Structure 1
């Protein structure tokens, strides 16, 4: 699990690793990430949805 978020961190969605994100900005109760420039305001919930790094593609 992700202990915290930081700028330029690489993330992927656990249920769909093809959904990859880069953290743009971190605030006390929110995280902006690049995909369509979206924001997580439930940071604890986000930690359960996201994995750190981009997983290797399995061919």
Structure 2
């Protein structure tokens, strides 16, 4: 598997992050990202902010 990533010049975490960002572009719901990708709610909010900079979401502490 690693050889395939080496051939295209990407790291697996870059593909993972791109997938989360793509999903965040489809929704403004960070809870959806938390459930789908099993990520921390604060990280999910950051992805939603990155995908929708024009929409303000409350910060999670």
TM-score with structure 1 setting the length = 0.22
Q: Which structure: greater strand fraction? A: 1
TM-score with structure 2 length normalisation?
Answer: 0.21
Determine which structure has more spread, i.e. the larger CA radius of gyration: 2
Which has the larger share of helix? 2
Greater relative contact order: 1 or 2 (C-alpha under 8 angstroms, separation 6 or more)? 1
